[in-house]
């Protein structure tokens, strides 16, 4: 790894599709950080797969560059993948963070940029788009969230960290997801700080 890569805050591009509360947690923790802290990171851009997301608005409010790459604007999935890669790469990130980004990432982006994602269930249980609903329907008493390295599968990559959340009597998908997201936001910040501090072990 070059010294240039090792020095300074870890450059992070965050991709979002929704309200962006996990992004907000990353932005808030970043602004409280000591610039000399080895676990420092900087969100250098926020990308979305649809216009007008809460996540995009949160980035704009902080003066962080944003981009939107809509699948429907491209003739094929491969061209969308390529456009997403170009937009992400333009910000030369060390790490890409999927914070509620609801699209699979193409292999070229994964090869170019180490990427982490979070899932609102304890993987390998309940992968896919409805992790909270599926856990609730199964009747589990404990669920939670998982942050992991993205690979070409769906929620199959190496697990970095997990947090447990108890299912309460009367929980709905919404109430349970909100409690999971409280833990998820803390997990996101601690994980990105940990990856920044430990960058020599994964950044090539
Ligand atoms: C998170 O629970 C994430 O795991 C899931 O979608 C949610 C995004 O929430 N894929 P937000 O947009 O960060 O508020």
Give the domains, in start order, of the chain with CATH numbers.
10-119+146-163+184-201 (3.40.50.170)
Q: ω before 66 within 30° of 0 (cis)?
A: no
Q: Name the catalytic one among 119, 130, 138, 177.
A: 119
The band of 5, judged by pLDDT with boundaries at 50, 70 and 90, is: low
Nearest atom within ligand 1 for CA of residue 53? 12
Considering only CA atoms, which residue is closest to atom 8 of ligand 1? 100
The DSSP H or E segment spanning 15 is: strand 10-16
pLDDT of residue 161: 98
H/E run at residue 16: strand 10-16
Residue 201 above 80 pLDDT? yes
Average pLDDT (128-146) is: 98
- C-alpha 190/C-alpha 105 separation (Å) is 23
Digit-coded pLDDT (tens) for 6-55:
578 999 999 999 999 999 999 999 977 777 888 999 999 999 999 999 99
Q: Ligand 1 test: best mutation among 20, 98, 120, 148, most atoms within 8 Å of CB?
A: 120
Residues with CB under 6 A from ligand 1: 16, 18-23, 55, 99-100, 118-120, 181, 184
Strand positions, DSSP E, 39-113? 41-48, 66-68, 95-98
Identify each DSSP E strand in 64-204 by its residue range.
66-68, 95-98, 115-119, 142-149, 159-166
The arithmetic mean of pLDDT across residues 55-83, rounded, is 97
Would the pLDDT of 3 be above 80? no
Surface-to-core class of residue 155, CB atoms within 10 Å of its CB (0-12 exposed, 13-18 middle, 19+ buried): buried
Would you state the pLDDT for residue 31? 74
Using the predicted structure, report yes or no on whether residue 198 has a pLDDT greater than 60: yes
| Atom of ligand 1 minimally distant from the CA of 102 | 10
For residue 119, indicate whether it is catalytic.
Answer: yes
- The rounded distance, in Å, linking the Cα atoms of 19 and 57 is 9
For residues 58-82, b (16+ Cβ closer than 10 Å) or e, as one string? bbeeeebebbebeeeeeeeeeebbb
For 88-113, the pLDDT digits (tens) are 999 999 999 999 999 999 999 999 99
Rounded to 5°, the CA angle 138-139-140 comes to 100
Report the separation in Å between the CA atom of 180 and the middle of ligand 1, taken as the mean of its atom positions: 9
Please give the order of strands across the beta sheet that includes 41-48.
66-68, 41-48, 10-16, 95-98, 115-119, 142-149, 159-166
Res 1: pLDDT: 44
pLDDT above 50 (res 2): no
* Pocket probe mutation, ligand 1, options 176, 181, 186, 188, max atoms within 8 Å of Cβ: 181
Alpha-carbon distance of 55 to 166, in angstroms, equals 27
73 in helix, strand or coil? helix
Query: Over 60: is that where the pLDDT of 4 sits?
Result: no
The string of pLDDT tens digits covering residues 149-184 is 999 999 999 999 999 999 999 999 999 999 999 999
Asked if 20 contacts 99 with a C-beta cutoff of 8 angstroms, the reply is: yes
Number of CB atoms found within 10 A of residue 146's CB? 25
Residue-averaged pLDDT of the chain: 95
């Amino acid at each position: 790894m070059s010294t240039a890569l090792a020095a300074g805050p870890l450059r992070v591009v965050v991709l979002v599709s929704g309200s962006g509360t996990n992004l907000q947690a990353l932005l808030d923790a970043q602004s409280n950080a000591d610039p000399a802290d080895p676990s420092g990171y900087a969100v250098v851009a926020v990308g979305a797969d649809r216009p007008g997301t809460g996540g995009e608005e949160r980035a704009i409010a902080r003066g962080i560059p944003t981009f939107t790459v809509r699948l429907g604007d491209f003739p094929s999935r491969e061209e969308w993948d390529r456009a997403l890669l170009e937009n992400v790469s333009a910000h030369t990130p060390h790490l890409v963070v999927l914070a509620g980004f609801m699209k699979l990432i193409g292999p070229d982006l994964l090869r170019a940029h180490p990427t982490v994602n979070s899932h609102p269930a304890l993987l390998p249980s309940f992968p896919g788009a409805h992790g909270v609903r599926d856990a609730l329907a199964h009747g589990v008493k404990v669920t939670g969230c998982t942050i992991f390295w993205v690979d070409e599968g769906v929620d199959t990559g190496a697990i970095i960290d997990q947090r447990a959340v108890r299912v309460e009597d009367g929980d709905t998908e919404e109430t349970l997801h909100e409690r999971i997201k409280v833990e998820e936001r803390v997990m996101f910040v601690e994980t990105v700080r940990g990856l920044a501090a430990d960058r020599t072990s994964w950044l090539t």
